[in-house]
Amino acid sequence: MSGKKEQAINEIMTSFSDMANLVLKQLTLLEKLMNTSDDQDFNELTRQVRDAENLLDNYEVVIGEQFTNTIVLYQPVASDVRRIVACYRMTINLERIGDRIMNLTRIIENIRKSKEYGSICTLVNNMLASGTIMVEKSLLSFINADPDFAIWTIKNDSVIDEMNYKLLVNDINKTSLDDETRQIVLRYVELKDMISNIERIADHATNIAEASIYSMQGTDIRHTGIGKDK
């Protein structure tokens, strides 16, 4: 039974690792997509992002079934339960990051040739890069059993929030909305939605980091306020 239990847990971890790598690949594709002006390249990158999203959805289902079967059939000890529960929590957040990437892809399709998007593209890219680093570090925390990476991710969540705020304020101050057309207003709404999706990616990275701490230390810090200004 012990051997089968270990095999079942290893299968969960393998599926999780594959899913995590796929999300990181999606983020890389999104960065390329945001920086390409060629329509053919853009369409090919979009296709790859969508294919990856379908695989992510499948991974979430597979890991959910593996998780349930392992708990029911092998009744793992407390430390193993913490580990696979943390893994399952991360899986949910990885799937949601994939959803955000799809949202961003659709928004970019609509506004990528507009002057409004061109004016803030560099800053949006910087935000995405910061969010991607948070995802990477949160995953490394779990894989390498390194709480420092998790704590770094949680504390840096506020950085993305601040970038979001500054981006919106600066662009509103530079634009006389009363004189703009309805189309431009709609584009700004889409830009805000795009920025919010990147912010949510950072939030999901924070959730992954919190699950990693739970896996290593058995401590649930989701509502303790670690890393947040008092």
Q: What pLDDT tens digit does each residue of the chain (230 aa) get?
A: 578 999 999 999 999 999 999 999 999 999 999 999 899 999 999 999 999 999 999 999 999 999 999 999 998 998 899 889 989 989 998 998 999 999 999 989 988 888 878 877 887 888 888 889 989 999 999 888 888 888 888 887 777 767 765 665 566 555 555 555 546 655 776 777 788 788 888 888 888 888 888 778 777 666 455 555 43
Contact status, residue 15 vs residue 62, Cβ threshold 8 Å: yes
Instruction: Give just the sign of the alpha carbon dihedral 176, 182, 187, 190.
Output: positive
pLDDT of residue 182: 45
Tell me the domains of the chain and their CATH numbers. 2-217 (1.20.58.220)
Do you know the residue count of the chain?
A: 230
Distance of CA 202 to CAs 31, 96, 155, Å? 15, 11, 11
3-state SS, residue 172: helix
d(CA 94, CA 115): 32
Could you give the angle at the alpha carbon of 62 between the alpha carbons of 57 and 66, nearest 5°?
A: 150
pLDDT of residue 183: 61
d(CA 228, CA 13): 30
pLDDT of residue 230: 38
| Residue from 166, 189, 185, 167 nearest 176 by CA | 185
